[in-house]
């Protein structure tokens, strides 16, 4: 019997990505933006990070390549404006991608919806620049592991997976309307430990595309002799409070074999972070991090085995310890890169209070999507010891004592 992913999971995550973005666009509709539509081709090499991709699969052939086609809408600040000078020609939007790995039966041909943002790293000429871009979204239509129908697939455990991408590229303005882009990127697909297995798929390769600029003017392609005035940034300390929750599957080693838990466990927590706002694009601070992880320190005992009448086979029983083994309190250093609408954050910390699985270093990667001036959606991921996936962090955040100036475009 095939396991179906509940539709509400897709709706919740897509809404979290799209609703704040579209509402913010509406708020800024009276500002002078350049609207753009782009297409991209991305041929990719697949890293052989697990036996399934290395060739231990139904076809006994390694899965080494993929190809993705992208359709993207974005808007950007006009050149020679205050916002363009501060944020380096930042642009943001949403995209839709179709990916194939040449093995639809075992991996599927996923469709991906994502938000993205990019900006200029260096300008060599008014028409030529080196840019970066990140993508973050949700990818569906995978063929996941199934004990009866797809038992070799140890890379993908769910039909819906998170999508992360980052790259750099050259942007060449061919004319008033068209830009040509060429560069490279890195992509990661995984389910954030919400399903098991979760080895994930990683790719790298080229990106080649063409962008049409609907309302760009010839003057936007020339270097202005007048630089707009940028207001002095008021350095200050703001306070971010984040409340988050998610769910996760757990794998427990019994000897050399890892056994998956029969169900999911809840996760809930908070972050409280005083952040020093250094300038328009950088803030850093220290965060107090509390978490309840319902999967922490679950274990099995060889003597405790249940009989599954449905399948006619034995099944190992997972035992849950007391709540004191599932709570942790930690401190982490945080740094954030602030851009219009989105903030990217990283953190490195250790649990001061915690037992067993909750000991050791942890790392946090987070995307904050502005909803209002003092509130944001929080989509994060927690790792342990730089390698072990922990849990997703889906939540809502509030910012206090926010003195960040309003940028006039």
In the chain the domains, ranked by start, together with CATH numbers, are 30-221 (2.40.160.20), 236-400 (2.40.160.20)
How many angstroms from the chain centroid is the CA of residue 335? 17
Give 351 or 17, the one with higher predicted confidence: 351
Residue 254, pLDDT score: 55
CA pair distance 117, 369, nearest whole angstrom? 12
Cβ contacts of 144 within 8 Å, gap of 6 or more:
3, 150, 153, 156, 157, 158, 159, 195
Question: Between 152 and 271, where is the model more confident?
Answer: 271
Task: Indicate the DSSP class of residue 148.
Answer: T
Task: Tell me: pLDDT of 389 over 90.
Answer: no
Asked if pLDDT for residue 319 goes beyond 60, the answer is yes
- CB contact at 8 A, 233 and 279: yes
Q: Are 223 and 76 in contact (CB under 8 A)?
A: no
Q: Which of 380, 402, 396 is nearest to 242 (CA)?
A: 396
Residue 2 has pLDDT above 90, yes or no: no
The average pLDDT across 86-91 equals 93
Total-model pTM: 0.84
Flag whether pLDDT at 262 surpasses 70. no
Q: Does the structure show a pLDDT above 60 at 253?
A: no
The tokens of 324 are what?
Answer: 């004191």
Please give the average per-residue pLDDT across 152-180, as a whole number.
Answer: 93
Query: Is residue 359 within 8 Å of 377, Cβ to Cβ?
Result: no
Question: Mean pLDDT: which of 144-148, 155-159, 369-373 is highest?
Answer: 369-373
Q: Looking at the predicted structure, is the pLDDT value of residue 228 above 50?
A: yes
Q: What φ, ψ does residue 94 adopt, rounded to 5°?
A: -140, 155
Would you place residue 23 in the very low, low, confident or very high pLDDT band (cuts 50, 70, 90)?
very low
Cα 404 → chain centroid: 25
pLDDT surpassing 70 at residue 316: no
Q: pLDDT at position 312, please? A: 35
pLDDT at 302 over 70: no
């Amino acid at each position: 019997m095939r396991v179906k992913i509940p539709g509400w999971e897709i709706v919740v995550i897509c809404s979290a990505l799209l609703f704040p973005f579209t509402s913010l666009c509406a708020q800024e509709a009276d500002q002078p933006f350049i609207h753009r539509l782009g297409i991209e081709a991305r041929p990719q090499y697949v890293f052989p990070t697990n036996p399934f991709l290395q060739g231990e699969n139904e076809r006994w052939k390694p899965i080494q390549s993929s190809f993705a086609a992208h359709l993207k809408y974005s808007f950007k600040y006009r050149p020679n404006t205050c916002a363009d000078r501060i944020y380096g020609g930042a642009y943001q939007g949403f995209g839709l991608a179709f990916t194939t790995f040449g093995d639809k039966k075992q991996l599927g041909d996923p469709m991906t919806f994502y938000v993205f943002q990019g900006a200029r790293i260096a300008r060599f000429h008014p028409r030529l620049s080196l840019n970066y871009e990140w993508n973050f979204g949700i990818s569906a239509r995978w063929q996941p592991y199934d004990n009866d129908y797809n038992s070799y697939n140890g890379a993908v455990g769910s039909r819906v997976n998170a999508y992360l991408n980052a790259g750099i590229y050259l942007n060449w303005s061919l004319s008033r309307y068209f830009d040509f882009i060429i560069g490279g990127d890195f992509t990661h697909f995984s389910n954030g430990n919400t399903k098991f297995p979760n080895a994930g798929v990683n790719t790298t390769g080229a990106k080649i595309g063409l962008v049409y600029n609907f309302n760009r003017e010839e003057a936007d392609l020339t270097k202005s002799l007048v630089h707009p005035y940028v207001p002095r940034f008021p350095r200050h300390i703001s306070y971010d409070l984040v409340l988050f929750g998610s769910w996760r599957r757990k794998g427990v080693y019994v000897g050399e074999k890892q056994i998956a838990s029969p169900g999911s466990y809840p996760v809930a927590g908070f972050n409280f972070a005083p952040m020093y706002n250094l300038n328009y694009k950088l803030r850093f601070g220290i965060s107090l991090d509390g978490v309840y992880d319902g999967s922490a320190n679950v274990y099995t005992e060889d003597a405790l085995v249940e009989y599954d009448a449905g399948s006619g086979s034995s099944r190992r029983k997972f035992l849950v310890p007391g709540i004191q083994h599932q709570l942790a309190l930690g401190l982490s250093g945080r740094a954030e890169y602030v851009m219009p609408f989105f903030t990217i954050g990283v953190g490195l910390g250790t649990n001061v209070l915690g037992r067993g699985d909750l000991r050791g270093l942890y790392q946090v990667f987070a995307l904050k999507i502005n909803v209002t001036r003092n509130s944001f959606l929080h989509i994060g991921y927690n790792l342990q010891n730089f390698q072990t996936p922990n849990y997703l962090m889906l939540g809502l955040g509030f910012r206090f004592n926010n003195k960040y100036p309003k940028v006039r475009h």
